[in-house]
Structure 1
Amino acid sequence: MNRFAPAIVVLAMGTVTGLVAQNDVVSYVNPLVGSQKSAIGYGGTMPFVTPPFGMTNWTPQTRQNKISIVSYNYDDTTISGFIGTHQPAIWMGDYGYVTVIPQVGELRTTPESRKLSYSHASEVARPDYYRVSLGTGADGKIQAEMTATERCAFFRFTFPNAAGPRVIVEASRPGIAGLASVNSQTQEITGYNPHRMDAHLGPFALPNFKGYFVVQFEQPPMDMKTYGDDGSSHGAYAEFRPGQTIQVRIGTSFISIEQARQNLMREIPSWNFRAVQEKLHTIWNRKLSQLQIGGATDKDKTLMYTAMYHALLYPRVFSEYGRYYSAFDDSIHNGESYTAYSIWDTFRAENSMLTLLAPERIDGMITALLQNFKEGGWMPKWPNPSYTNIMIATHADSLVAEAFRKGFTGFDRQLAWQAVYKDAMTPPDGDTTRRWLDREEYTPYEARAGLTYYKQLGYIPTDKTDEAASSTLEDSYDDWCIAQIAKALGRSEDFRFFLKRSLNDRNLYNPALGLMNGRTSDGKWAPIGGEKDDDQNRSVSGWTEGDTWVYTWSPLHDQAGLIQLMGGVENYDKKLDQHFSGGHNVHSNEPSHHYGYLYDFDGQPWKTQAMVRKIAAEEYDASPGGLDGDDDCGQMSAWLLFTAMGFYPVSPASGEYMIGSPMYGEISLTLANGKRFRLETSNNSAKNVYIQSATLNGKTLDMPVITWEQIQAGGVLHFVMGPEPSKWGSKWRPALILAN
Structure 2
Amino acid sequence: MLFFFTSCAFAALSFLDFAASHPSPSSSGYYSNAGVLQYVNPRIGTFGYSPNGNGGMIPSVSPPFGMTRWTPQTRENYISQCPYHDADTYMHGFQATHQPAIWMGESGQVVLSPGFGGVRPLFEQRGMSFSKSSETSTPYVYEVTLNADSRSSSSGKSIQVAQTATSHVGYLRLDYSKSSEAPYVFIQATRQNWTGQVNVDPEKREISGYNPQRQDYKLGPLHAPNFKGYFVSRFSEPFEGYGIAKGGDLSHGVKSGEGTHLGAYATFKSGMKRVEVRTGVSFVSIDQARKNLDLEIADGTSFETTVDQLKSDWLSILGRITIEGVNQTSAAHDQRTIFYTGLFHALQYPNDYSEPTSNGGGIRTFYSGYTDSVHTAQDTYHQSWSIWDTYRATHSLLTIFAPARVNGMLRSLIRIYEWSGRLPMWANIVETNIMIGTHVDAVFANALKRGFRDFDIAKAWEGVHKNAYIPPEHDTELLYYDREPYTPDEVRAGLTTYMSKGWVANDRWAESGSRTLDYAFDDYAAAVVAQHAGQNDFVDELFARSKNYKHVWNSNTTFMEARNENGTWAGTAQGWTEGDDWVYTFAVMHDVNGLAELFGGRDKLKAKLDEHFNGGHNDQTNEPSHHVPYLYAAIGYPANTQNLTRLIAWENYNATSAGLSGNEDLGQMSAWYVFSALGFYPVNPASDEYIVGSPFFEKVTIRLPAGVANGGNAQKDGERTLVISAPGAPTKPFVKSLKVNGKDITSPMLRHAQIVGASSIEFEMSETPQIWGSDGV
TM-score normalized with structure 2 length: 0.91
Structure-1 separation of matches of 2:339 and 2:488: 41
Q: 1:334 aligns with which of 371, 376, 382?
A: 376
Q: 1:240 aligns with which of 254, 265, 268?
A: 268
Partner of 2:252: none
Q: 1:2: Cα distance to partner?
A: 4.6
Q: 1:497: Cα distance to partner?
A: 1.4
Mapped pair 1:264 → 2:293: yes
Asked if 2 retains the 8 angstrom alpha-carbon contact of 1:41 and 1:626, the reply is no
Q: In structure 1, give the amino acid aligned to 2:316.
A: R
Residues 15 and 656 of structure 1, relative CA distance in 2, 3 Å threshold: farther
1:547-566 map, 5 Å:
547-566=580-599
Q: In structure 2, give the amino acid aligned to 1:169.
A: I
Structure-1 separation of matches of 2:492 and 2:704: 36
Q: In structure 2, give the amino acid aligned to 1:30.
A: N
SS of 2:375 mapped into structure 1: strand
Mapped pair 1:127 → 2:155: no
Partner of 1:325: 367
1:37-116 map, 5 Å:
37=48, 41-116=53-128
Q: 1:253 aligns with which of 265, 282, 298?
A: 282
Q: 1:362 aligns with which of 386, 397, 406?
A: 406
Q: 1:642: Cα distance to partner?
A: 0.3
1:70-469 map, 5 Å:
70-137=82-149, 138=155, 140-162=157-179, 163-228=181-246, 233-243=261-271, 244-271=273-300, 272-296=302-326, 297=328, 299-321=334-356, 322-335=364-377, 336-469=380-513
Q: 1:719: Cα distance to partner?
A: 1.1
Q: 1:548: Cα distance to partner?
A: 1.1
Q: In structure 2, give the amino acid aligned to 1:292.
A: T
Structure-2 separation of matches of 1:263 and 1:3: 42
Structure-2 separation of matches of 1:15 and 1:417: 56
Asked if 1 retains the 8 angstrom alpha-carbon contact of 2:417 and 2:424, the reply is yes
Residues 4 and 285 of structure 1, relative CA distance in 2, 3 Å threshold: farther
Asked if 2 retains the 8 angstrom alpha-carbon contact of 1:20 and 1:27, the reply is no
Between 1:648-657 and 1:137-146, the stretch displaced more is 137-146
Q: 1:174: Cα distance to partner?
A: 1.5
SS of 1:654 mapped into structure 2: coil
Q: 1:384: Cα distance to partner?
A: 1.1
Structure-1 separation of matches of 2:62 and 2:640: 40
Structure-2 separation of matches of 1:213 and 1:437: 36
SS of 1:236 mapped into structure 2: strand
Q: 1:419: Cα distance to partner?
A: 0.8
Q: 1:489: Cα distance to partner?
A: 2.1
Partner of 2:361: none
Partner of 1:570: 603
Q: What do the CA deviations read for 1:341-364 (whole angstroms, capped 9, x no partner)?
A: 111000001111111111111011
Asked if 2 retains the 8 angstrom alpha-carbon contact of 1:462 and 1:468, the reply is yes
Q: 1:700 aligns with which of 718, 735, 744?
A: 744
SS of 1:653 mapped into structure 2: coil
Asked if 1 retains the 8 angstrom alpha-carbon contact of 2:62 and 2:164, the reply is yes
Residues 443 and 227 of structure 1, relative CA distance in 2, 3 Å threshold: same
Which runs of 5 or more structure 1 residues have no equivalent in the other structure?
530-540, 734-740
Q: 1:189: Cα distance to partner?
A: 0.6
Structure-1 separation of matches of 2:662 and 2:607: 28
Q: 1:475: Cα distance to partner?
A: 0.7
Q: In structure 2, give the amino acid aligned to 1:682.
A: P
Q: 1:690: Cα distance to partner?
A: 0.7
Q: In structure 1, give the amino acid aligned to 2:370.
A: F
Residues 693 and 38 of structure 1, relative CA distance in 2, 3 Å threshold: farther
Structure-1 separation of matches of 2:677 and 2:703: 16
TM-score normalized with structure 1 length: 0.95
Partner of 1:585: 618
Q: 1:4: Cα distance to partner?
A: 5.1
Structure-2 separation of matches of 1:13 and 1:213: 33
* Percent of aligned pairs sharing the same letter: 41
Structure-1 separation of matches of 2:398 and 2:25: 28
Q: 1:17: Cα distance to partner?
A: 2.4
Structure-2 separation of matches of 1:14 and 1:486: 56
Partner of 1:732: 776
Between 1:203-212 and 1:677-686, the stretch displaced more is 677-686
Q: 1:409: Cα distance to partner?
A: 1.4
CA RMSD of aligned residues (A): 1.5
The number of residue pairs the alignment matches comes to 718
Structure-1 separation of matches of 2:570 and 2:704: 48
Structure-2 separation of matches of 1:732 and 1:703: 6
Asked if 1 retains the 8 angstrom alpha-carbon contact of 2:30 and 2:304, the reply is no
Asked if 2 retains the 8 angstrom alpha-carbon contact of 1:201 and 1:439, the reply is yes
Q: 1:525 aligns with which of 558, 565, 569?
A: 569
Structure-2 separation of matches of 1:294 and 1:683: 11
Asked if 2 retains the 8 angstrom alpha-carbon contact of 1:38 and 1:626, the reply is no
Structure-1 separation of matches of 2:493 and 2:471: 7
Structure-2 separation of matches of 1:38 and 1:214: 36
Residues 38 and 16 of structure 1, relative CA distance in 2, 3 Å threshold: farther
1:18-37 map, 5 Å:
18-21=30-33, 24-37=35-48
Structure-2 separation of matches of 1:145 and 1:645: 35
Q: 1:490: Cα distance to partner?
A: 2.1
Q: What do the CA deviations read for 1:583-631 (whole angstroms, capped 9, x no partner)?
A: 1100000000001100012211100001101101111101111110001
Structure-1 separation of matches of 2:317 and 2:728: 30
SS of 2:344 mapped into structure 1: helix
Q: In structure 1, give the amino acid aligned to 2:280.
A: G
Mapped pair 1:512 → 2:556: yes
Q: 1:543 aligns with which of 572, 576, 582?
A: 576
